[in-house]
């Protein structure tokens, strides 16, 4: 902890984290608008404000385990976003970035919904895994791997989300379930994504 940093009360920190979570979500939207060509400039000033504040919070002494876990998860989430934004900005500078690719990713959610309808038509229930749910699962998985000392380099949100979505139809059929939930568990000293069938 940095000199002079005073531990915050749980209520105060909870409010800070709620506000920070909202700010990160809003920043993500602004970056998407920039990458799509809607906005002319990247939100550098807002990103620096959020990044600096997040690092101050991370340096704060937190005794509550749940709040500490949430804080570390949010920090990992921001780092993941920053890497993705920097990579895209670099591609734009190098002239290798194509907006239609980014648009295709945004519309991927609609395509997944279409696949779900096809599964439903075949006699299996459709399971909709929203980007928000998958993002929270990914963030938790990332933090869990870091805690168990497992590598996280190259472990992108897209790769994890694609792997999870690809497993759903087969899991539904195998367990004759109506829905599938995923959670992160530590098994044998390693972080594992566990599928839980719901009948």
C-alpha closest to that of 79 among 143, 137, 35: 143
Tokens describing residue 24: 């990160």
11 band by pLDDT with thresholds 50, 70 and 90:
confident
The model's pTM: 0.49
Q: Would you state the pLDDT for residue 45? A: 95
Assess contact for 63 and 9: CB atoms under 8 A: no
Q: Up-side HSE of residue 20: CA atoms within 13 Å toward CB? A: 25
145-185 confidence digits (pLDDT tens): 888 888 887 778 888 888 888 888 888 888 888 888 888 88
């Amino acid at each position: 902890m940095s000199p002079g940093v005073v531990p915050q009360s749980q209520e105060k920190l909870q409010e800070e984290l709620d506000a920070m979570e909202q700010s990160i979500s809003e920043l993500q939207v602004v970056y998407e608008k920039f990458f799509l060509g809607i906005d002319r400039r990247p939100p550098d000033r807002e990103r620096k404000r959020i990044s600096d504040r997040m690092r101050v919070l991370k340096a704060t002494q937190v005794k509550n385990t749940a709040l500490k876990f949430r804080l570390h998860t949010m920090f990992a989430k921001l780092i993941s976003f920053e890497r993705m934004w920097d990579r895209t900005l670099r591609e734009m500078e190098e002239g290798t970035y194509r907006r239609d690719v980014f648009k295709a990713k945004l519309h991927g959610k609609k395509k997944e919904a279409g696949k779900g309808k096809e599964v439903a038509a075949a006699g299996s229930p459709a399971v909709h895994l929203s980007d928000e749910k998958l993002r929270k699962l990914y963030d938790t998985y990332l933090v869990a791997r870091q805690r168990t000392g497992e590598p996280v380099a190259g472990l992108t949100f897209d790769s994890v989300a694609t792997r999870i979505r690809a497993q759903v139809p087969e899991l539904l059929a195998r367990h004759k379930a109506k829905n599938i939930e995923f959670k992160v568990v530590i098994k044998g000293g390693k972080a594992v994504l566990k599928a839980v069938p719901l009948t």
